[in-house]
Amino acid sequence: MTRDDAVDGSSPEDGRGGGADSGQSGEGPTDRTVDLSVPDMDCASCASKVERAVSGVPGVTGVDPRPTTGDLTVATDGTVDRKSVVSAVEGAGYEVADGLESVTLSVPEMDCASCAGKVSGALERVEGVRDLDAYPTSGTVRLRFDPDATTLAAVVSAVEGVGYEVVGTSLDGGDGGVDGSGGDSVWRSRRAYATYLAAALTAVGLVLANPLAPAGAGPAVDLFGRVVRVGDLAYLGAVAVGGVAVFRDGYYSLRQRSLDIDLLMSVAILGAVAAGIGFDEPLYFEAATLTTLFSLSELLEAAAMDRARDSLRELMELSPSEATVLRDGEEVVVPADAVEVGETVVVRPGERIPRDGTVTDGTSAVNQAPVTGESVPVDKAPGDEVFAGTIVEGGYLEVEVTTEAGEDTLSRVVDMVEAAQGERSEREQFVERFAGYYTPVVVGFALVVALGPPLAVGAAWDTYVLYGLTLLVLACPCAFVISTPVTVVSGITAAARNGVLIKGGTHLEAMGDVDAVAFDKTGTLTKGELTVTDVIPLGDNSEADVLRCARGLELRSEHPIGDAIVEHAEAEGVDDRAVDDFEAVAGKGVSATLDGTPHYAGKPGLFADLGFDLSHVHAATDGGVVTRTSRAICERNNCLDLLSDTVPELQAEGKTVVLVGTEDDLEGVIAVADEVRPEARRTVERLREAGVRTAMLTGDNERTARAVGREVGVDEVRAELLPDEKVAAVEELLDEHDGVAMVGDGVNDAPALATATVGIAMGAAGTDTALETADVALLADDLSTLPYLRTLAERANAVIRQNVWTSLAAKAALAAAVPFGLVPIWFAVLAGDAGMTVGVTANASRLARVSPDDPGADGTDAAGTAGRDAEAKAEAASDGEGEPPSTPPAQSAQ
């Protein structure tokens, strides 16, 4: 039975789907575990296949595949050898990367595409290095290496051998993550001070040897038999001081055979100096200007990238570094990573919870916004789950830790956000392919411009060599290469701070193009939990009387409907009744003796079999006066026609009907339903206003599905669907639309989620399966973040287009204007390189300002919730199909 089956319009019976004994887990003692790396196991289907294969090995007691990391942990009873497990994995078609170690390097100076290319090139030549990914947007490198073929020291040495310092790794005590330095450190670095000195020397040169002054003007000295202007010496000093880092990086680029900005700028600067020394062409000013402005542009780029990294750094800093643990009855402060599973941590007001766990003592409101994006603190009491990084607002909590260090929800979110940078979108791949052609073409054009006119028509060498050097400056595609990844990182981290986990740039871009959204019903549009919605007392009974009897009857039932009735009755504070002789009436309901009198609870057919006339039942009165509900429904004022009116009307609203009574008297009617989420209707409305078509795909029965569909306002309802039929429905939507998002619970809807353009899992915080299988996970159980997600994705796509085409157009325009003498070399550096890089980064950072509170970005707007109920009722009243009655068919339990 599916989750949807539990909330359909059929009547209850004990053992009704889920009453079977769960039995024992059958797991024997776990004496050892086998850890394997399976890099090709990178999807939910792969993980399932591997899990089935390994589970069949005798002696295996548990299998934990993690497709997001490619890791496999196998628990055994001690009788299984590693070889048997490896054989099972390989038998399923997956290669085991046996013995490889994973490491993350923190390389904060690697802050551009060309830097990442040099680092990757160096590491690729290290024997034993596998699965290499360099992320300039976070300044990290992730790789795996064979410890029998190389060492961590050799890996670090390879990176530092191309000029980039490794400040920490995940294997030597550091986290290997985003560098913790702030943007201000860029301006106090050694390169910054060298740039300041180069700028000062360039200024001195401008005073003593201004390029606008007549040739030879200014003080001069005799140097090795040659008259040299003092201002030119100042220019050369600027090149010597500020060019050290430029020439060093250019040297490493040459060794890597990388035609990047460092090599191009080195050639341009040295070319200008050589023209002055060897050919007596006065290009010292240009060389000094190139050196100073390029060094400045590198500092600006580093500072801009550091700002882009801030959002991810903020995520990483949410988890506290220390925790207060109860050990032997005393509080001990220890590193948060040193807390063991099962230990109890103490969290006081204002402190952050160090690890995921369960509250064992105390109550407090907890601000979960850092993890789930919920704006309102959530009350927590013993038994409730809490997440690492969330803040205790005003109480004292003792929390039993339930996750290992690095395995809590916040850590998984950070890991996945970092890993998402490795997902190269189609636009990013296009830009990288284009850049491979752009640079050689512009370099070739620079050579033609520099050599062609002087050789062909005797034009001035200094003029056209300068034009050629200017084109070399414009030949680097850094600005538009980085335009897509920096936007993706900004969008993904902004979403993560608001409780939406996007698994890569591909999914962010795809979400922006979605024009149809399909929803599962149970647990997505509805809460996924049965609740009592209506209680109708009959005869001389009150609501409390009906609930008292129903609670006694359902107390021993294991069915979700019975649980909902018991929970509601206890919330209403009804008295207990003595219960004896509980029995399930097969296919119809339950019976028990309450205070010595036999009672029944079940579907209408059960009471029809007992001889009741369900078409003529007396309604409850108040002081002899028939209630308004009864008068509206029953033409005879003090009677209800349960069979023809009340029960069908309740079921038409998607509710399950339970009758309660004795052998002689029908005491009342209880309606139970899976309530629609309060934000569902507004979410659907906002999507429709954005031009998105909505559909509901459910395995529930047609009647219940139609009722929920009308209430939330979806455009299309498809009911009684098996998993493969949901997949077919998504495929049909894909045939009609450019992009389709499927929103479900991440488990039962996995095939449909995988088929859709974007699969979105609801309520994924703390749920491994949802985090690993979905393309996007809504960490809070809140549909209202869905319109925000689409708005963010749309704006991200717009920013990417702006960044790519603006930077490309600017470079093309500048390059075309160079041969006409319209672009001085200093302007090419500032506008074409530094300016565009800073511009695209600043443009991308605007995504951080997109908020779920913005009109149009979430399921709410400035009008608030005040008129929504009236609006919903007005639409329901005007609905042609299944039009609800003008007066409610039952008295609400609320």
Q: Which residues are known to be catalytic? A: 520
> What 3-state class would DSSP assign to 60?
strand
The sign one gets for the Cα dihedral 255, 258, 259, 264 is negative
Of 20, 19, 22, 7, the closest CA to residue 561 belongs to 7
In the chain the first and final C-alpha atoms are separated, in Å, by 30
Q: Phi and psi (nearest 5°) for 327?
A: -130, 120
Q: Which residues in 565-721 belong to E strands, given as ranges? A: 579-585, 589-594, 597-602, 617-618, 621-622, 625-626, 639-640, 656-662, 666-676, 693-697, 716-718
Helix pair 426-457, 505-512: axis angle to 10 deg: 100
Q: Cα-Cα-Cα-Cα dihedral of 522, 523, 529, 535, to 10°?
A: -50
Helix pair 284-316, 836-845: axis angle to 10 deg: 20
Q: Half-sphere exposure of 591 toward its Cβ, with a 13 Å CA cutoff?
A: 15
Dig out the tokens for 310 from the structure.
């801030």
Q: What is the rounded distance in angstroms from the CA atom of residue 253 to the CA atom of residue 648?
A: 77
In this structure, are residues 720 and 701 in contact, taking their beta carbons and an 8 Å threshold? yes
Q: What is the rounded distance in angstroms from the CA atom of residue 367 to the CA atom of residue 378?
A: 6
In this structure, are residues 208 and 230 in contact, taking their beta carbons and an 8 Å threshold? yes
Sequence-distant (≥ 6) Cβ neighbours of residue 369 within 8 angstroms: 375, 390, 499
Q: What is the rounded distance in angstroms from the CA atom of residue 241 to the CA atom of residue 236?
A: 9
In this structure, are residues 132 and 124 in contact, taking their beta carbons and an 8 Å threshold? yes
Q: Where are the alpha helices (DSSP H) in 696-818?
A: 702-712, 723-736, 750-755, 768-773, 785-817
Residue type, 163: G
Residue whose token pair is 């989420």: 677
Dig out the tokens for 776 from the structure.
């996007």
Q: What is the rounded distance in angstroms from the CA atom of residue 750 to the CA atom of residue 747?
A: 5
| Cross-strand partners of 650 | none
Q: What is the rounded distance in angstroms from the CA atom of residue 297 to the CA atom of residue 838?
A: 9
Q: What is the rounded distance in angstroms from the CA atom of residue 488 to the CA atom of residue 778?
A: 18
Sequence-distant (≥ 6) Cβ neighbours of residue 413 within 8 angstroms: 315, 371, 496, 501, 771, 779
Residue whose token pair is 């923190």: 106
The sign one gets for the Cα dihedral 375, 376, 380, 383 is negative
DSSP H or E segment with residue 319: none
Give the largest CA-CA distance in the chain: 126
> What 3-state class would DSSP assign to 532?
strand
Q: What is the rounded distance in angstroms from the CA atom of residue 829 to the CA atom of residue 846?
A: 25
Dig out the tokens for 204 from the structure.
């001195």
| Cross-strand partners of 857 | none
Q: Phi and psi (nearest 5°) for 600?
A: -135, 150
> What 3-state class would DSSP assign to 731?
helix
Dig out the tokens for 410 from the structure.
């916040």
Rounded to the nearest 5 degrees, what angle is found at the Cα of 248, between the Cα atoms of 242 and 252? 155
Q: What is the rounded distance in angstroms from the CA atom of residue 883 to the CA atom of residue 266?
A: 76
In this structure, are residues 780 and 765 in contact, taking their beta carbons and an 8 Å threshold? yes
